[in-house]
Chain A
Amino acid sequence: MNAATAEATQTGWIRVEDLSVRFTTRTEEVVAIDRASIDVKPGEFVTLIGPSGCGKSTLLNVVAGFLKASSGSVTVDGEAINGPSVQRGVVFQQYSLFPWLTVRQNVEFGMKMKGVGRSTREASARTLLGLAGLLAFENHYPDQLSGGMKQRVGIVRALATSPQVLLMDEPFGALDAQTRVVMQEILTNMWQKFRLSVLFITHDIDEAVFLSDRIYVMTARPGRIKAEIRIDLPRPRTAAMTSSPEFITYVQQLRQLIREESLAAMGSELHDGALAGFATDVGPGGVAGIVNA
């Protein structure tokens, strides 16, 4: 494990240059990403944030190798991406555990594909599960776990092939707010130990600030990089920091940037007057006053 982490800090440099992704539907050509450039330095935690539908997941899917770039270049440690690879671990938004394997067998899957022997596999999986506080559940099937636990297993499984980079596509998006906060702490703690490069996708501003070294803000479709913000909060991050003035300043700054984009994304809706109702005076009777009038 030590050798792997030392190596991980040297490698895992994601570079995305002038990336464009276009889809052709039956009726039109949709530009999902328009000349976006980002990079994730070795051992850095970088987040892509933006309104829904801005193409941030598309960008991650290109880096993962699920989608092809229409133009531009995407490399990891100088090598062009050609399909999915064990060098790039992926944690998905939906629960992606194999329901027919136990928790430990899920974690062992990548090692098994590599041809690692049974006993080595088992020992590594148990160590990793212990780190995520899941050792007591190693023989459970995914259906027996809560949402938060499933995602922790998902993270551990992605780490188990000792990838150079970890790609996380809104991994906590399906969790309730309380679980989400705890998961963020667990993730930042694990990252602190392994220090591998992470490209993280979210639309949650607090989550982005809490976890990241740098944040890229994406525009509404077509997705472009609108801003890049460095988060200079000390490491290791703790829950207490979220109420510090610096943290709040970052959050407000991002909120402003994203609000502009959300409004832009809602453009056509706004023309129809989504906010026009703000000025209407309803009188003292509340809803009942209107309905019974």
Chain B
Amino acid sequence: MLMAHRIEGLAGSEVEEAPASATPALHTAPAAPVAMMPRKPPLIAPRTLLTWLFGALSLCMLLTLWHFAVKYRVDFYIRFNNIPAPQAVLEDAIALIRNTRFQRHILLSLQRILTGFSIAALIAIPLGLLMGRNRIARELIFPALEVLRPIPAIAWVPMSIMLWPSNEVSIIFITFLGSFFPILLNTIHGVQALDKVLVRAARCLGANQLALFWHVVLPGSLPHVFTGLTIGMGVAWVSLIAAEMISGQFGIGYFTWEAYSLVRYSEIVLGMIVIGVLGLLCSGLIRLIGSWVMPWAHRAQMESD
């Protein structure tokens, strides 16, 4: 859960900026309830500008450190002798970006993530809603899952290869396993953390069990479901890369491992950077879907979860 808080905190601060700068023009009408609106910032808040500036500076610092460590071949227990310089990686990236084989690595990894993660979400969310709501379902299913949960997805690799007909399916299975538990547990938590007064209110307003589930339990647990999806996506990438390194024939994880075996050092770094960027894009996509599905969830609410 600690991890969830950190992720949500970061997400919130980004999400909140956008609507604030978009509203002012609309709310200058005379009778508009201005008093209730958040304070109007200038077109680009000075603080946002400063944040960007510091961000750029921070990245520059990292690149500079890297550059000089390689240039002067730092060898002080930690060794930079064989590490490629940033320029070398950039040149490699430019050369490889049009390479169809490289593109296939990326596409295949994305396809595996999408398949494994989607199946996990499609099973874990309904199951979590059921287990959160129904005590019998919870007590019947939970013990079995609790036994499996502490086993890291990567530990499943040998078993997975035995279980499934092809390497491809077993890699997708590992990805699925990685994302399944965070999504399931957060969904269950979301249902159980739902304020009881909302359930009471809905029942007084004539909601039957089905309506209660559809109109109250489901939307009420969505913030937690999305926390689970964000964490699940992160773990899915970890599991995918490990699985690809061990048993893959394609994929960006395999590409990185292969570069090491073939002594193409700058490709190792390129692989790492691509993995990082893809992971970032995938969690960004989930946040985007989240803010689209839950327009009501502002920063304050996300942080309080």
Contacts and interface: CB of A to CB of B under 8 A. Distances in A.
A146 B36 contact: yes
6 tightest A-B contacts by CB? Answer: A110-B205, A113-B206, A86-B206, A100-B219, A84-B203, A96-B201
A158 B301 CA distance: 25
Interface of B: 31-33, 36, 195, 197-198, 200-208, 211, 215-216, 219-220, 222, 294-298, 300-301
B41 to A, nearest CB: 17
B204 A88 contact: yes
A228 B247 CA distance: 81
Contact of A161 (B200, B205, B216, B298): B205
Contact of A98 (B33, B198, B203, B211): B198
A145 B301 contact: no
Size category, A interface: 20 to 34
Interface string A137-150: 10011111110000
Given A114-B206, A143-B300, 11 more contacts: A64-B204, A83-B203, A85-B204, A88-B204, A90-B204, A92-B201, A98-B202, A100-B297, A113-B211, A143-B298, A158-B205
A100 B294 contact: yes
A83 B203 CA distance: 9
Contact of A90 (B198, B201, B216, B219): B201
A92 to B, nearest CB: 5
Interface of A: 64, 66, 83-86, 88-90, 92, 94, 96, 98-101, 109-110, 113-114, 136-137, 140-146, 157-158, 161
Contact of B197 (A89, A92, A137, A144): A92
Nearest to B293: A100
Nearest to A142: B296
A110 B206 contact: yes
B207 A143 contact: no
B227 to A, nearest CB: 16
A137 B36 contact: yes
Contacts of B211: 113
B192 to A, nearest CB: 17
A187 to B, nearest CB: 18
Contacts of A110: 205-206
